[in-house]
Amino acid sequence: MSKKTPKYTNEPLGRLEIIEDFLPAPEQLIFKQENEKVTLLLSRKSLNFFKKQAEKHGGHYQKMIRALLDHYVEHFAS
């Protein structure tokens, strides 16, 4: 299966909606709960961001990523 490269144009995007930022600050992503192990490939840029934030706030980058995903699910799951 080959990946298709997106093609970008200068065409109008149509009706856009700006949504309120609902994501927590990095320091709010550190807490304990039950977990299940998975394998996930992240961009180096994203991984470095979470590692730096975890070090800065005395937490663990994997827990921060998990909390971010959980927050996203809570926001959109109805």
Q: Which residue has the tokens 């192990």?
A: 37
Nearest-angstrom CA–CA distance, 25 and 46: 15
Domain ranges of the chain: 43-78
pLDDT in tens, 33-68: 677 889 999 999 999 999 999 999 999 999 899 999
Nearest of 77, 44, 47, 74 to residue 62 by alpha carbon: 47
Identify which has the larger pLDDT, 23 or 49: 49
**Residue 4, pLDDT score:** 82
